[in-house]
Amino acid sequence: MDTSEARKIIHLDMDAFYASVEQRDNPVLRGKPVAVGGSRQRGVVAAASYEARQFGVRSAMPSSTALRKCPELVFVKPRFEVYKEVSRQIRAIFAEYTPLIEPLSLDEAYLDVTENLKGIALATQVAREIRAAILQKTQLTASAGISYNKFLAKLASDYRKPNGQFVIRPSQGLEFVAGLAVGQFHGIGPATAARLNHLGIFSGLDLRQQSETFLRQHFGKAGSHYYRIARAQDFRPVVPDRLRKSIGSETTFEQDLLTPEELTTGLQPCLASVWQHCQRTGLRGRTVTLKVKYADFQQITRSRTLFGVVPGPMPWLT
């Protein structure tokens, strides 16, 4: 047994977080299909309630597509300051059990409860107590995945949603992973899943039968990661206060930007927002990525890496 199997990791994930907060605060929305986001033709769904998900509405879906799938869909403008405050309340609950908290977003985090502050022997009991405390404090439900590493804990948290928890023990890891389709693996998106399928790799068991050399030939450094997770291995520790690796800003325009001059003007607020964050935090970077989404929601990205770390005002702001 490797040392990671001695860990007790919980992945806590709030259920339809933004939409659930809106339904909590506005009783009229309860039981209705709700989407948080823009209802305009160019809008995008930021979050969908479980009632909306029954119609196939998902986050990151164009609002126009969501409305076609669910004509009764109710759109609500996001209130990020409210979501941040609720998130702070939830993380305060986490901190009562362990200092080893690795937030992934406002609504999910990893917790290492191997040696927790309350001396509770079972991670499943810790997860139950945390979920009960969240419900009492915020009137919101959370789901939990419990396992001996982060990869399996995150997979497990999806298995009893909403308002449930699921555990994958060390003796179950290999079998659990073997039965998954590769597209169900966290970190393997549709494009990578399609490439794996093209190579005849459809399940975790298929993936485990490949050599690390073969996977690296086709997927580079990521191939080593796929080799490990096919064997239910993930040695990453839970890291509190992770160093932020990127800063971004984006907006949706009412009208198409067609000329270079329009693009330059339209980008200025996004660029200024990123640079102001850099000034406040002292962060610097050397790679700039531009993401462009067209009217038909086709998306492209382009990156440029500068030599050395940017020391002062971004040259593209001038």
List the catalytic residues.
Answer: 108
Using DSSP, state whether 270 is helix, strand or coil. Answer: helix
Residue type at position 233 = Q
Partners of residue 203 on adjacent β-strands: 181
- Rounded to whole angstroms, how far apart are CA atoms 285 and 254? 30
DSSP state of 75: E
Distances (CA, A) of 114 to 7, 99, 111, 127, 156: 5, 11, 9, 12, 17
CB-based contacts of 302: which residues, under 8 Å, 6+ apart? 289, 290, 292
- How many beta carbons lie within 10 A of that of residue 177, not counting itself? 24
- Rounded to whole angstroms, how far apart are CA atoms 127 and 94? 10
Distances (CA, A) of 145 to 142, 264, 286: 10, 45, 36
Using DSSP, state whether 4 is helix, strand or coil. Answer: helix
Q: Are 10 and 113 in contact (CB under 8 A)?
A: yes
Using DSSP, state whether 241 is helix, strand or coil. Answer: coil
Beta strands in the chain (DSSP E): 9-14, 34-37, 45-48, 74-76, 101-105, 108-112, 142-147, 165-167, 287-293, 299-305
